[in-house]
Chain A
Amino acid sequence: TPNSGEVQLTEEAVRRYLSRKPMTTKDLLKKFQTKRTGLSSDATVNALAQLLKRLDPERKLIADKMHFFLKE
């Protein structure tokens, strides 16, 4: 499709975002919108779930919302 591949949902990309600042699941989903990656909603959810489990980021409650982040 013409719009696919603009953004890639990779471990490296997730790692980069979480190293910059704490993010909620919704923040991460915004970075990997389906219209930018060309992935389906299900594929996006599954990939992010697997990557987050593998990266095992720190968790922090900010304004009552769970945020993930990675230390340098």
Chain B
Amino acid sequence: SSSEADEMAAALEAELNDFM
């Protein structure tokens, strides 16, 4: 679902926090 995609994107961006 799109909400799961949103959650995964948020989690990935959190993982990449320093990097981004």
Write the residues of chain A forming the contact surface with B, with a CB cutoff of 8 angstroms.
24-26, 28-30, 41-42, 44-46, 48-49, 52-53, 59, 66
Write the residues of chain B forming the contact surface with A, with a CB cutoff of 8 angstroms.
4-9, 11-13, 15-16, 19-20
Q: Which residue of the partner chain A has the closest CB to B10? A: A25
**Contacting residue for B8 out of A24, A29, A59, CB 8 A:** A29
Number of A-B contacts (CB under 8 A): 35
Chain B residues within 8 Å of A44, by CB:
8
Asked whether, in the complex, the Cβ of A48 is within 8 Å of the Cβ of B20, the reply is no
- Per DSSP, chain A at the interface is helix
Chain A residues within 8 Å of B20, by CB:
59, 66
